[in-house]
Amino acid sequence: MAHSCEMAPIWVFGYGSLMWNPGFEYTEKQIARLNGYHRSFCMRSIHHRGTVEKPGLVLALDATKDAYCDGLAYRVAGENADQVQDYLRERELISSAYLETSQQINFRDGRQVQAVTYVIDEDHEQYCGGLPLQEQAEIMATAIGGRGPNAEYLHNTATHLHELGISDADLDWLSQRVNALV
Q: Just list the catalytic residues.
A: 92
Q: Specify burial of residue 97 (Cβ count, 10 A radius: 0-12, 13-18, 19+).
A: buried
In angstroms, rounded to a whole number, what is the distance separating the alpha carbons of residues 29 and 108? Answer: 12
